[in-house]
Amino acid sequence: MTWPVYCAVLPNGWFVDTGSWRLLGGGQLAVSYRGPNGARLALQEGVWCTSGVSACAPRNRDLGQTAFGDMTGELVTLGPNEPADGYAIYVAPGQAPSWTATGTNLDQAAFQALTAALLHVTP
Protein backbone atom coordinates (compact mmCIF):
# COMPACT_ATOMS: atom_id res chain seq x y z
CA MET A 1 0.00 0.00 0.00
CA THR A 2 1.14 3.55 -0.58
CA TRP A 3 -0.30 4.76 2.75
CA PRO A 4 0.68 3.76 6.30
CA VAL A 5 -0.65 0.33 7.28
CA TYR A 6 -1.24 -0.53 10.94
CA CYS A 7 -1.38 -3.98 12.53
CA ALA A 8 -2.65 -4.93 15.95
CA VAL A 9 -0.25 -6.12 18.65
CA LEU A 10 -2.58 -8.14 20.85
CA PRO A 11 -2.24 -10.00 24.14
CA ASN A 12 -2.64 -13.78 24.45
CA GLY A 13 -6.13 -15.06 23.71
CA TRP A 14 -6.65 -12.94 20.58
CA PHE A 15 -6.63 -14.21 17.00
CA VAL A 16 -7.35 -12.99 13.45
CA ASP A 17 -10.98 -13.63 12.57
CA THR A 18 -11.23 -12.21 9.03
CA GLY A 19 -9.13 -10.13 6.69
CA SER A 20 -9.24 -8.70 3.19
CA TRP A 21 -7.35 -6.23 1.07
CA ARG A 22 -7.39 -4.79 -2.42
CA LEU A 23 -5.24 -2.40 -4.41
CA LEU A 24 -7.93 -1.10 -6.78
CA GLY A 25 -8.94 2.55 -6.29
CA GLY A 26 -6.11 3.41 -3.93
CA GLY A 27 -6.40 0.35 -1.72
CA GLN A 28 -8.35 -0.94 1.23
CA LEU A 29 -7.42 -3.18 4.12
CA ALA A 30 -9.85 -4.69 6.63
CA VAL A 31 -8.88 -7.05 9.46
CA SER A 32 -10.95 -8.20 12.41
CA TYR A 33 -9.75 -9.94 15.54
CA ARG A 34 -11.54 -11.94 18.25
CA GLY A 35 -10.54 -11.95 21.86
CA PRO A 36 -11.60 -13.32 25.21
CA ASN A 37 -15.22 -13.06 26.38
CA GLY A 38 -16.55 -12.06 22.96
CA ALA A 39 -14.26 -9.05 22.57
CA ARG A 40 -13.71 -7.87 19.00
CA LEU A 41 -11.37 -5.39 17.35
CA ALA A 42 -11.67 -4.39 13.68
CA LEU A 43 -9.38 -2.19 11.58
CA GLN A 44 -10.36 -0.54 8.31
CA GLU A 45 -7.65 1.35 6.50
CA GLY A 46 -7.15 3.08 3.18
CA VAL A 47 -9.64 4.52 0.72
CA TRP A 48 -13.03 3.47 2.02
CA CYS A 49 -15.08 6.21 3.72
CA THR A 50 -14.31 9.20 1.53
CA SER A 51 -17.85 10.60 1.30
CA GLY A 52 -17.67 11.98 4.84
CA VAL A 53 -17.59 11.08 8.50
CA SER A 54 -21.06 9.52 8.46
CA ALA A 55 -19.91 6.99 5.84
CA CYS A 56 -17.26 5.59 8.19
CA ALA A 57 -19.45 4.20 10.98
CA PRO A 58 -22.10 5.30 13.42
CA ARG A 59 -21.32 7.40 16.44
CA ASN A 60 -23.22 8.10 19.60
CA ARG A 61 -21.01 10.29 21.77
CA ASP A 62 -17.66 12.00 21.16
CA LEU A 63 -15.05 11.25 23.83
CA GLY A 64 -12.12 13.33 22.54
CA GLN A 65 -8.76 12.52 20.99
CA THR A 66 -6.83 9.29 21.51
CA ALA A 67 -3.98 7.27 20.04
CA PHE A 68 -4.24 5.10 16.92
CA GLY A 69 -0.71 3.76 16.96
CA ASP A 70 1.54 6.76 16.29
CA MET A 71 -1.39 8.85 14.98
CA THR A 72 -4.20 10.62 16.83
CA GLY A 73 -7.88 10.08 16.11
CA GLU A 74 -11.34 10.90 17.41
CA LEU A 75 -12.71 8.45 19.98
CA VAL A 76 -16.48 7.90 19.96
CA THR A 77 -19.01 5.51 21.42
CA LEU A 78 -21.03 3.50 18.91
CA GLY A 79 -24.16 3.30 21.02
CA PRO A 80 -25.67 3.89 24.43
CA ASN A 81 -24.95 0.36 25.75
CA GLU A 82 -21.25 0.69 26.57
CA PRO A 83 -19.13 -1.42 26.28
CA ALA A 84 -21.29 -3.92 24.33
CA ASP A 85 -22.16 -1.41 21.58
CA GLY A 86 -18.53 -0.50 21.40
CA TYR A 87 -16.13 2.28 20.61
CA ALA A 88 -14.49 3.60 17.46
CA ILE A 89 -11.52 5.75 16.58
CA TYR A 90 -11.55 7.71 13.33
CA VAL A 91 -8.36 9.13 11.81
CA ALA A 92 -8.84 11.47 8.82
CA PRO A 93 -12.50 10.48 8.22
CA GLY A 94 -13.82 11.55 4.84
CA GLN A 95 -10.30 11.69 3.41
CA ALA A 96 -8.19 9.27 1.41
CA PRO A 97 -6.58 7.50 3.12
CA SER A 98 -8.35 7.17 6.45
CA TRP A 99 -8.20 4.72 9.34
CA THR A 100 -10.84 3.33 11.68
CA ALA A 101 -10.66 0.98 14.64
CA THR A 102 -13.84 -0.38 16.21
CA GLY A 103 -14.11 -2.49 19.31
CA THR A 104 -16.98 -4.26 21.02
CA ASN A 105 -17.29 -6.05 24.34
CA LEU A 106 -14.27 -4.08 25.55
CA ASP A 107 -14.31 -1.32 28.13
CA GLN A 108 -12.97 2.05 27.05
CA ALA A 109 -9.58 1.62 28.76
CA ALA A 110 -9.00 -1.80 27.13
CA PHE A 111 -10.01 -0.48 23.70
CA GLN A 112 -7.69 2.50 23.99
CA ALA A 113 -4.81 0.28 25.15
CA LEU A 114 -5.23 -1.96 22.09
CA THR A 115 -5.41 0.96 19.65
CA ALA A 116 -2.47 2.80 21.25
CA ALA A 117 -0.38 -0.35 20.64
CA LEU A 118 -1.15 -0.50 16.90
CA LEU A 119 2.08 -0.92 14.99
CA HIS A 120 2.87 1.17 11.88
CA VAL A 121 4.27 -1.43 9.45
CA THR A 122 4.37 0.22 5.97
CA PRO A 123 5.51 2.30 4.07
* Tens digit of each residue's pLDDT (9 = 90 or more) over 40-90: 999 999 988 766 666 666 678 889 999 999 999 999 998 888 777 899 999
Go through the domains of the chain in sequence order and give each one's CATH number.
5-122 (3.40.1000)
pLDDT at position 94 is: 84
d(CA 118, CA 9): 6
**Average pLDDT score, the chain:** 90
Q: What is the pLDDT of residue 54?
A: 65
pLDDT score, position 114: 98
Q: Which of 69, 77, 70 minimizes the C-alpha distance to 103? A: 77
Tell me: pLDDT of 93 over 70: yes
What are 3-47's pLDDT values in tens digits?
Answer: 999 999 999 999 999 999 998 888 999 999 999 999 999 999 998
- Can you say whether residue 94 is alpha, beta or left, with left for phi > 0 and alpha for psi between -120 and 50 degrees? left
The pTM of this model reads: 0.91
The stretch 97-112 carries a mean pLDDT of 95
The confidence score (pLDDT) of residue 122 equals: 86
d(CA 108, CA 106): 6
Distance, in Å, from the CA atom of 100 to the CA atom of 111, rounded to the nearest integer, reads: 13
- Given a contact cutoff of 8 angstroms between Cβ atoms, the answer to whether 106 and 115 are in contact is no
